[in-house]
């Protein structure tokens, strides 16, 4: 929890949607990109950017999708994020989205909430247990750009809610996961259970 805490980041009025995840198909990042396109179309005058942190075999497909959807100026690929920079990167986001199709335990969602950044996760694997739905973030159905867009818009249009959810997220993580647990060990345990 000490590694993942709010850090003051100089921000302008650009709304930042982010994800830090391995760029693999099972993490459904293309649905986030599609949701972001819909969001841009619905709010053409709002300054916003999608930041994608991570590396992986699906990078080329995601870059091509960004080009196809004409989002080259609105999506930034950050590359692999060093472990000592993950918290600072989360803190640069206004909301973190994990649109996974398959997921073990939602470690990254917990890390984001520990940084007081609300999350949107899909209703798969251990994701639902990684947040307090409608209090620290939102759960959406997988493969649903429209639902992702709707929840991003809720947080984008209500700064007070976003800040409150962020603070509740940190408290949720402290109350439920801080007992010196090693998140990676928890994730491995969940993956073993889910893969049986």
DSSP code string of 76-98: EEEEPPPGGGHHHHHHT-SEEEE
Residue percentage of the chain with pLDDT more than 70: 85
CATH 3.40.50.300 for domain 15-194? no
Q: Which residue reads 């472990």 in tokens?
A: 83
Mean pLDDT of 110-115: 94
Mean pLDDT of 61-86: 96
Task: Please say if the pLDDT value at position 180 is more than 90.
Answer: no
Gyration radius of the chain over CA positions = 15
Angle at 119 between CA 118 and CA 121, to 5 degrees: 165
Q: Which CA distances in Å does 38 have to 35, 47, 65, 70, 147?
A: 5, 14, 14, 12, 11
CB of 71 within 8 A of CB of 36? Answer: yes
Mean pLDDT of 163-183: 82
Mean pLDDT of 12-34: 96
CB of 35 within 8 A of CB of 120? Answer: no
Residue of 169, 21, 4, 176 lying closest to 97 (CA atoms): 21
Q: What is the pLDDT of residue 4?
A: 59
Secondary structure (3-state) at 114: helix
Judge if pTM exceeds 0.85. Answer: yes
Distance, CA of 60 to CA of 50 (rounded, Å): 17
Q: What is the pLDDT of residue 1?
A: 45
Please, what is the end-to-end C-alpha distance for the chain in angstroms? 30
């Amino acid at each position: 929890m000490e590694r993942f805490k709010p850090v003051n980041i100089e921000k302008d009025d650009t709304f930042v949607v982010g994800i830090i995840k391995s760029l693999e198909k099972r993490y459904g990042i293309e649905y986030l990109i599609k949701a972001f396109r819909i969001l841009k179309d619905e709010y053409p005058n709002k300054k916003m950017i999608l930041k994608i942190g991570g590396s992986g075999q699906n990078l080329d497909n995601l870059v091509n999708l960004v080009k196809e959807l004409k989002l080259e100026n609105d999506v930034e690929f950050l590359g692999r994020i060093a472990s000592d920079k993950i918290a600072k990167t989360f803190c640069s986001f206004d909301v973190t989205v994990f649109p996974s199709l398959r997921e073990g335990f939602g470690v990254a969602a917990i890390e984001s909430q520990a940084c007081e950044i609300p999350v949107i996760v899909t209703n798969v694997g251990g994701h639902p247990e990684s947040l307090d739905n409608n209090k620290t973030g939102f759960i959406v159905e997988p493969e649903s750009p429209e639902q992702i867009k709707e929840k991003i818009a809720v947080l984008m249009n209500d700064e007070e809610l976003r800040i409150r959810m962020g603070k509740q997220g940190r408290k949720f993580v402290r109350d439920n996961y801080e007992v010196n647990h090693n998140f990676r060990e928890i994730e491995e345990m969940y993956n073993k259970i889910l893969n049986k």
